[in-house]
Amino acid sequence: MRILRAIALVALATLATLATRPALAQPAPIAASSAALVPLPPVPSAAAVVPLDPEAATRAYLDTVPADAHARSDAYFEGGYWLMLWSFLLGSGVALLLLFTGLSARMRRLASRVTRFRPVHAAVYWAQYVLVTGVLSSPLTVYEGFFREHAYGMSNMTFGAWIGDQLKGLVIALIVGGLAMMGLYAILARAKKTWWVWGTVASIGFATLALAIAPVFVEPLFNEYTPVADARVKDPILALARSNGIGAKSVLVFDASRQTKRVSANVAGFGATQRIALNDNLLNRCSLEEIEAVMGHEMGHYVLNHVTKGILQIGLVILFGFLFMRVAFERLRARFASRWKIIDVDDPAGLPLLALLFGVYLFGMTPVVNTIVRTQETEADLFGLNTSRQPDGMAAIALKLGEYRKLEPGPLEEIVFFDHPSGRNRISMAMRWKAEHVGATPLR
């Protein structure tokens, strides 16, 4: 589920550089309606025994992954732990560089010379901030988003196409972030003591609006969405939707294969923007049983009100983060006033300090945010099993996700670094469900 992470990222974007997500690629045609559906992979022998031993069945599924593929997935995912650290250190270093060299203060003065209209100062400063921090962070961005993805076989996107997607993200960051900055600094100017409360309310409201309009206005800039014509795929998904009170009338497929090999789907939007979408990798690489398992999971997020719950939970995380910033900002500004030349909290020159403090807070809160998201993902998994009744489809999908997610982490490792249940835990859940429903669901 992308909802909670999106809320946290939008809140962070109002305070720091809006980092566009790396574009990954694996071109492939969208499956035609006449194409044959991919069969469900053979169920390992231990997973087909009745009565079923969930632990043995889980082990049987995991043992189908070749040792070299297992090691490659572990290396890719564990490398992400270090990238989290390097990204945090680089972001902190860039913020300190802007402050101690006086560059941030000079950017503020330039913004004030562009226009006398004070509310626009924040937007002009933001544009400079995005460009400067983007350039300074570009070596890590290019390595992480392009070269590393190619090294692990996750992408074959040309560098030009990858840059094109990055530039689209940059334009969105400049426009959307500029508006967010104008709103934030208007709050800072009018409520210098209680801005952390009103800033939280504004951030959550802005994130909610973004989640509502992104499916219509933003996502089509990166991918083409077309209706799924194959009734063998569409009809079971719409039947699942109707049976769970979801009013979407069509199923869309988007060409994520131009960016990534990953399989994904979502039930997104609010009201008129609501839609069910799956990517063409899911359509081309997976069986109908796997597709139903994935779509049951995504519908679980909607039916279980994870958007509303996530807004409240992440809202609390943001609230305490803004309170931390409120206290720490004033102390550090007073101590380094002569060097940083930050006039007050509503001075755009203080944005790097706000970004630094919020980055430190979010880095420390990584296990908390991951646990919030992972808990909702687990709930959606259970919902998906009960509504799709495809335990082997779910197990097979968990193995595909294991191509880039470590399948068998340690318990503490999963708590700290995983924002989804591990592949092992997902397969174990599916096999426990299957063992309890042997008489109620057909076995292959």
Rounded CA separation 315/4 (Å): 10
pLDDT of 207 strictly over 90: no
Using pLDDT thresholds of 50, 70 and 90, give the confidence band for residue 383: very high
Mean local confidence (pLDDT), 135-146: 96
What are the two backbone dihedrals, phi and then psi, of residue 251, each rounded to the nearest 5 degrees? -120, 130
Using pLDDT thresholds of 50, 70 and 90, give the confidence band for residue 37: confident
Condensed to tens digits (0 to 9), the pLDDT of residues 85-136 reads 999 999 999 999 999 999 999 999 999 998 888 889 999 999 999 999 999 9
Q: How far is CA 189 from CA 99, 100, 181, 216, in A?
A: 21, 24, 12, 33
Rounded CA separation 240/244 (Å): 6
Condensed to tens digits (0 to 9), the pLDDT of residues 145-204 reads 999 999 998 887 899 999 999 999 999 999 999 999 999 999 999 999 999 999 999 999
Rounded CA separation 297/377 (Å): 8
Using pLDDT thresholds of 50, 70 and 90, give the confidence band for residue 271: low
Which stretch of 116-120, 272-276, 359-363, 419-423 has the lowest confidence by average pLDDT? 272-276
pLDDT of 49 strictly over 60: yes
Mean local confidence (pLDDT), 403-429: 96
Rounded CA separation 256/173 (Å): 21
Q: Which two tokens stand for residue 176?
A: 């959307």
Burial 163-184 (b: 16+ CB within 10 A, else e): eebbeebbebbbebbbebbbbb
Using pLDDT thresholds of 50, 70 and 90, give the confidence band for residue 39: confident
Strand order, beta sheet including 251-254 = 225-227, 251-254, 275-279, 265-268
Q: Counting Cβ atoms within 10 Å, is residue 51 exposed (0-12), middle (13-18) or buried (19+)?
A: exposed
- pLDDT recorded at residue 96: 97
Say if strands 275-279 and 251-254 run parallel, antiparallel, or are unpaired: parallel
Query: Average pLDDT over the chain, rounded to whole?
Result: 88
- pLDDT recorded at residue 221: 92
Rounded CA separation 90/63 (Å): 39
- pLDDT recorded at residue 439: 56
Rounded CA separation 54/352 (Å): 51
Mean local confidence (pLDDT), 8-17: 41
- pLDDT recorded at residue 210: 84
pTM of the model: 0.87
* Domain parsing of the chain, residue ranges: 3-436
Q: Which residue has the tokens 């070269």?
A: 147
Q: Which residue has the tokens 């566009």?
A: 20
- pLDDT recorded at residue 227: 94
Q: Which two tokens stand for residue 304?
A: 């279980």
254 and 219 in contact (C-beta within 8 Å)?
Answer: yes
* Between 365 and 245, residue with greater pLDDT: 365
420 and 374 in contact (C-beta within 8 Å)?
Answer: yes
Using pLDDT thresholds of 50, 70 and 90, give the confidence band for residue 16: very low
Mean local confidence (pLDDT), 350-357: 97
* Between 204 and 15, residue with greater pLDDT: 204
